């Protein structure tokens, strides 16, 4: 598939896909006779995984490191796994922080409910 379809399927813009290729996150795909990029299903699988890493807050440089290890082949499996384990730890921490702050947010919202309730009918100064 050409870049437009790949963009739609992967959720990354065409510009972003070319950018990711330029910085080494995505391996250069095949080209057709006219020099246009032709992406494979495997490219899609990889890009979807990249999307997960991105969605969980991994930065581009770390994704690049993972991509480089991946390109080196099976002997880097352990290292890649460790990278993912470290990342997982960060994601768990991030979820914990969000949950804490969500609880505080809930409380704050409740406080507003009380305020709003108390404020009703102050118009008639009874």
Interface residues with a second copy (CB under 8 A) are 49, 52, 55-56, 74, 77-78, 80-81, 84-85, 87-88, 91-92, 94-95, 97-99, 101-102, 104-106, 108-109, 112-113, 115-116, 119
Q: Does 47 bind DNA (CB under 7 A)?
A: no
Task: Give whichever of 31 and 90 is closer to a second copy, judged by the CB atom.
Answer: 90
Q: Does 91 bind DNA (CB under 7 A)?
A: no
Binding partner at 89 among DNA, a second copy, none, C-beta below 5 to 8 Å by kind: none
Q: Does 11 bind DNA (CB under 7 A)?
A: no
Strand, coil or helix: 37: strand
Q: Which of 23, 21, 46, 16 is nearest to 31 (CA)?
A: 21
Residues 86/91/93/94 CA torsion (nearest 10 deg): 140
Q: Does 54 bind DNA (CB under 7 A)?
A: yes
Burial class (CB in 10 A: 0-12, 13-18, 19+), 45: exposed
Q: Does 61 bind DNA (CB under 7 A)?
A: yes
Which DSSP category does 31 fall into?
E
């Amino acid at each position: 598939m050409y870049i437009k379809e790949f963009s739609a399927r992967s959720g990354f813009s065409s510009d972003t896909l070319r950018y990711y290729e330029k910085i080494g996150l995505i391996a250069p795909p095949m080209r057709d006779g006219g020099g246009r990029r032709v992406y494979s299903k495997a490219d899609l699988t990889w890009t979807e995984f990249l999307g997960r890493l991105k969605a969980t807050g991994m930065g581009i440089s770390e994704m690049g490191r993972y991509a480089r290890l991946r390109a080196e082949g099976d002997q880097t499996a352990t290292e890649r796994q460790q990278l993912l384990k470290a990342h997982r730890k960060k994601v768990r921490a991030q979820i914990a922080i969000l949950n804490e702050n969500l609880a505080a947010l809930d409380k704050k919202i409740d406080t507003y409910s009380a305020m709003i309730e108390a404020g009703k009918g102050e118009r008639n100064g009874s």
